[in-house]
Structure 1
Amino acid sequence: MSFNLRRFGAVFHTLWPSLRAESRSGNSKKRLKVTAPVPSLSAPDFEYVLETGFLTDMGCVRQRNEDAFTVLSPTNGPTPGRNLLALVADGMGGHRAGDRASRLAVETIGRVFLAATPPVDRRLAEAFQAANRAIYDEAADDAALSGMGTTATALVVSEGAAWLAHVGDSRLYRLHDERLEQLSEDDTLVEGMLKKGLLTPQEAKFHPERHVLARAMGTHARLEVMLAPVPLAPGDSYLLCTDGLHDLVDDEEIRLLLLQHGPQAACDALVALARQRGGYDNISVVAVQCGMPDLHTSDAPPTRDVVQQFHE
């Protein structure tokens, strides 16, 4: 079953007790349910601090923002600045339903992840399944919310190890050695056709059904989640974004703006560029920079105070 995307609302909050470090090995990407075997990743031993920037914008056409995002980061604990959960979600299902789905995803993933039993990768898998069930059950109980769902793309960094969890067509990018790589995979019908050789990359880019999802959170009782270890090195930058950004700003432009600016300035510039090109969808971005403590010179502090903010 596939789903047409409609987007609009946003959510942001930060609240985080410290994560404990976990040791992993391996680097394969897997789609799994919470009961499936979880790959592992070796945590490198190096000093770093995490700096973040974030911005959401309703865009130039929509009357409501159905995007949601969260950045959970410690401001205390034994190693402040080394642990982080960042998440973007892009709701679908109409005026009320899309807003509710993305908000419920953000709130549930954050709450369950913090309460779940380590290791970190299993906590992510549990949190995504819990959010999927919460959205699915709420839609089943309320006819006005029928068909609602959301994308969800999360990055977790914990004591030198990093993980991606993903469903939908929001994205996670990594900038390493001035090269930009998309780490997530778009869960769209067009992406499936591209992989099968039925479309060229140029045809896929402009296909009229490029926003039809093949998989979304909350549309079925069980969810296949892309869960994968993420390389982490000093100097790396990461960008999570909804399709309101990556539809209008290409990879090379993202790369250059991440190179030229600190996290917050990059987010501001990326959203401004998408708006200049029409901003026909909601636009949400979260940038994370892994910096060396002695070279910490960005436009934002390494950690943030506890904040909750909801955009109606």
Structure 2
Amino acid sequence: MQVGAATDPGLVRPKNEDYLRYEVPDDPLLVRARGNLFLVADGVGGMGGGAVASAEAVHAVLQEYYLNPRGDAGRHLRHAIQHANLHVYNMRVGHPDFSGMQTTLTALAIRQDSYWLGHVGDSKAFLLRDGTLRPLTRDHTVVEEMRRLGLLDQQRVRQHPHRHLLTRTIGGESMVAVDLRRGHVQPGDCFILATDGIFEHLEPEDVRVQFENSPPDRAAATCVAEATRRGGYDNLTVLGVRLAS
């Protein structure tokens, strides 16, 4: 397995409120029971609250997911994300400085021949398999709901002034619905997690080309650098995981 990641605040935002982590346990028993976990989060909120929200959510998921190595991995991933949601929510309502803080969260667990993807918000996950880039997530935004209802086409979605208005976040409410997806992995599969800032400047095809032709560390760095070169209006984060062929 090859893992590579890159993150940058971009050229406009004063602080990077994105956060990424991955865990590859040393304990072989834990690897068999829970596998490896990869996460990206994109925080929002004033007074530095976005950075706090994204980091706290990621750490809460990591801690809760590996706490009990028994039971179904997908169910436990959903529980860990809901636990993180309540943790961030309680911080938000308990600290006036953090009253607006929330975050997206996309978490990928890979165990043996299966993967589970838990998702809240508008960060994105893709599977690159046999040269084809397949989206694994759906944005939880107002404009995406309008698109699904046939009120907007894809071009207008990308240009809409409220395209970043989220309908679902970590920390927004005390309970959150988590999109959970399960699939089987194949040799050579490459998973890509990215925050929405990347796709303000790059097309999915741009990302596909980089990960198709470069190892994950170089591909992630190139995507972030190119998004920065094209304007860097938002924080920029990419994480790639390529399985052995």
TM superposition score normalised by structure 1: 0.75
Aligned residue identity for 1:179:
T
Which of the two has higher C-alpha Rg?
A: 1
Deviations 1:236-271 (A, max 9, x none): 111000011122110111111111101101001101
Give the whole-Å Cα distance in 2 for the aligned partners of 1:228 and 1:144: 35
Residue 90 of structure 1, aligned match among 42, 46, 49 = 42
State the shift of 1:78 in Å: 6.4
1:206-245 CA distances to partner (integer Å, 9 max, x unpaired)? 1111000011010101000001103311111110000111
Per-residue deviation, 1:83: 3.2
Unaligned runs of 5+ in 2: none
Runs of 4+ in 1 over 3 A off after TM superposition: 78-83
| Cα distance, 1:177 vs structure 2 | 1.0
Q: What is the aligned partner in structure 2 of residue 120 from structure 1?
A: 73
Q: Give the aligned partner of residue 110 of structure 1.
A: 62
**1:256-312, CA deviations, whole angstroms, 9 ceiling, x for partnerless residues?**
1111101101001101110011111111111000113xxxxxxxxxxxxxxxxxxxx
Matched positions, count: 243
Amino acid at match of 1:105: A
Task: Mark the runs of 5 or more structure 1 residues left unpaired by the alignment.
Answer: 1-49, 293-312
Residue 276 of structure 1 corresponds to 229
Residues 105, 248 of structure 1: alpha-carbon distance in 2 compared, 3 angstrom cutoff: same
Query: Which residue of the partner structure matches residue 145 of structure 1?
Result: 98
**1:200 pairs with one of 149, 153, 159:** 153
In structure 2, the CA distance between the partners of 1:76 and 1:129, relative to structure 1 (3 Å rule), is closer
Identity %: 37
Question: Is 1:265 paired with 2:218?
Answer: yes
TM superposition shift of 1:118? 2.2
How many Å separate the matches in 2 of 1:80 and 1:215? Answer: 31
Q: TM-score, normalised by structure 2?
A: 0.95
Contact 2:31 2:111 in 1 (8 A): no
Residue equivalent to 1:155: 108
Partner of 1:291: 244
Deviation at 1:170, TM superposition (A): 0.3
Alignment RMSD, CA only? Answer: 1.6
Matched with 2:15 is 64
Distance 2:46 2:129 in 1: 38
Q: Which has the higher helix share?
A: 2
Q: What amino acid sits opposite 1:51 in the alignment?
A: Q
| Cα distance in 1 for residues equivalent to 2:124 and 2:153 | 20
Deviations 1:112-148 (A, max 9, x none): 0000342111110111111000111111111111121
